[in-house]
Amino acid sequence: MKIGYFPGCSLHGLSREYEESLKAIVAGLDTELVEVDDWSCCGASSAHGSSHLLGVALPARNLAIAEEQGLPEVLAPCAACYARLASARHEISEDPQLAGRVNNVLVRDFKNTVRVRSILEVLKGQIAGIKARATNPLKDLKVACYYGCLLVRPVQVTGGYDDPEDPSSMEDICKAAGAVPVKWNRRLDCCGGGLSMSRTGSVVRLSAAILKDAKAAGADAVVVACPMCHSNLDFRQKAMKHRGAWEGDMPVLFLTQVVGMSMGIDPKTLGMGRHFVSTDSVLARTAGTGSGSGTGTNSAAAVAGEVG
Amino acid sequence: MGSHEHSHDHSGPEPLAARVQRMTGLNPACCYQCGKCSAGCPMAAETTLRPHDVMRLVARNRLDKLADADGLWLCLTCETCTSRCPNGCDPARTMDALREIFAAGKDGKPPKAISAFHKSFLNQVRNHGRLFEMGLIMSYKLGGGPMFADVTTTPSVLARGKLGLAPHNVKGMDEVRRIFAACAEEEAQP
């Protein structure tokens, strides 16, 4: 299948391992990503709070280009991009006057036909394929599936592909990869999102509570599908320790990396060495657990060592 | 939802509740103060005005009280409040509308670091069409962010190949600039 692809700024920067692992797994799932031509920033957490129109028009430019490319749907792997694109689509469809203002600003004849898909929605539709290709199922890996805020709420924006208070798609995807999701409480709590730089103390408080709960539930790793969640939970563990809010090392994986490991894809290809908290413990547990290629996964420690 | 009327009759200053309703398409007085939004708000512990307080003050036209509130700027737009509101009041959208009102006016400025971050972020997008993270960090620090925070962690980010050293400019820069200009112009109209 072919699907439009909106990478967003983070997947080309701080979270490039998210794009690396996504591209590595879609090849095995018979899916082709068609990048939105000359895409621009969705405005993320800054535009919508400064100008409502800007917060809609910036994502709408990308949806308009996708429409001109003839793409019926676009995957936005970043949860924040997904929320901004899906929210723009929703608001424009609900408000004809806003639709007119946006078209005036864009100077495009945008008809708002492009559906916006989250990574959970897309991978949920590929569960059979993920299962079939899990040559290295992650049998012993206990994962805490962390949704955060924007992947499943509000339901008016997501269209309700999953339950906003009790979602299950990420657990289902991880199970298909052979991992064991733990039951825990903070999977829908906010990590502190865009306040990472401007109010680090809040992020430390919120993200440490999430990690502690995952640890108490017996998780070997936290799984995310958002660059901001990843940055706050992985990169900020150092700040959490420094401020006495957290002890230990909790690997934080992108969902696409979990699927990629189960396919036996080389850890370097999945960007496993780009994390701040080493993923060696995860790779050691999963190496050769299945019938698949243990050799690929064994090079992981070296990869992580290179940069760690 | 959405803004139903773009301009209003200038017979006097527009009351806050009416202004917010014009921006959001939702009547703030629909909030019956059940507090479910605040119960789930991740920032409630750090702010003096929680979401249901904000909703009440909007309904009562208390722009003065809201100007002193940090809660507006600490709101993470996690959408928990909006998701859970039993009466469809959309506090997250109301927060956005208030931030927009205060950003354009003289009162109720955001905390320095938060304001510096958003300004730097939008400047990156305005100048390149995409976020250039290294540029964001530099501009944020020079624009009022804490100068020495993350100085020791930045090299480790670079070592992981996570920070680009040069910005990527989109081809449609003219269009991006036009979007910024047109939005600023339209929002500036009364």
Q: What is the pLDDT of residues A36-50, one digit of tens each?
A: 999 999 998 889 988
Span A183-194, average pLDDT? 95
Percent of chain A with pLDDT over 70: 93
Q: Does the structure show a pLDDT above 80 at A57?
A: yes
Determine the pLDDT at residue A296: 39
Determine the pLDDT at residue A290: 43
Q: Where in chain A is the domain with CATH 3.40.50.11810?
A: 135-307
User: Beta-strand (E) ranges in chain A?
Assistant: 2-5, 32-35, 73-75, 115-117, 142-145, 180-181, 221-224, 252-254
Q: Indicate yes or no: CB of B186 within 8 angstroms of CB of A48.
A: no
Determine the pLDDT at residue B143: 82
B149 vs A53, which has greater pLDDT? A53
Q: Indicate yes or no: CB of A274 within 8 angstroms of CB of B161.
A: yes
Span A183-187, average pLDDT? 97
Determine the pLDDT at residue B107: 75
- Measure CB to CB from residue B113 to each of A55, A95, A198 and give the nearest one: A198
What Rg do the C-alpha atoms of chain A give, in angstroms?
A: 19
Cα angle for residues A172, B86, B56 (degrees, 5° grid): 130
Q: Does the structure show a pLDDT above 70 at A139?
A: yes
Domains of chain B: which residue ranges?
16-104, 112-188
Q: Does the structure show a pLDDT above 80 at A303?
A: no
Q: Indicate yes or no: CB of A9 within 8 angstroms of CB of B133.
A: yes
Span A150-176, average pLDDT? 96
Determine the pLDDT at residue A295: 39
CA-based nearest residue in chain A for residue B112 = A198
B161-178 pLDDT per residue, tens = 888 778 889 999 999 999
| ipTM exceeds 0.85, yes or no | yes
Please indicate if any CB of chain B lies within 8 Å of the CB of A127.
Answer: no
pLDDT band at A220 (very low <50, low <70, confident <90, very high): very high
Q: Does the structure show a pLDDT above 80 at A238?
A: yes
Q: Where in chain A is the domain with CATH 1.20.1050.140?
A: 2-119
Q: Which CATH superfamily is domain B16-104 in?
A: Alpha-helical ferredoxin (1.10.1060.10)
- Measure CB to CB from residue A13 to each of B25, B129, B162 and give the nearest one: B162
A3 vs B158, which has greater pLDDT? A3
Q: What is the DSSP string of B16-72?
A: HHHHHHHHHSS-GGG-----HHHHH-TTGGG-SS-HHHHHHHHHTT-HHHHHT-SHH
A259-293 pLDDT per residue, tens = 999 999 999 999 999 999 999 999 988 775 444 44
Q: Is A34 helix (H, G, I), strand (E, B) or coil?
A: strand
pTM of the model: 0.91
For residues B11 and B4, what is the distance between their CA atoms, to the nearest angstrom? 19
Determine the pLDDT at residue B3: 45
Tokens 């999953």 sit on residue: A162
CATH class label, A2-119? mainly alpha
Q: Indicate yes or no: CB of B160 within 8 angstroms of CB of A274.
A: yes
Burial class (CB in 10 A: 0-12, 13-18, 19+), B171: exposed
Determine the pLDDT at residue B77: 93
Q: Indicate yes or no: CB of A48 within 8 angstroms of CB of B114.
A: no
For residues A120 and A173, is the Cβ–Cβ distance under 8 A?
yes
Please indicate if any CB of chain B lies within 8 Å of the CB of A190.
Answer: yes
How far does CA B113 lie from the centroid of its chain? 13
Query: Which fold, A135-307?
Result: Rossmann fold (3.40.50)
Q: Indicate yes or no: CB of A41 within 8 angstroms of CB of B129.
A: yes
- Residue from A18, A39, A51, A242 to probe the interface with B (highest B Cβ count within 10 Å): A51
Tokens 């208390």 sit on residue: B62
Q: Does the structure show a pLDDT above 50 at A300?
A: no
Cα angle for residues B157, A85, A154 (degrees, 5° grid): 100
Span A97-105, average pLDDT? 94
In the predicted model, residues of chain B with pLDDT beneath 50 are 1-7
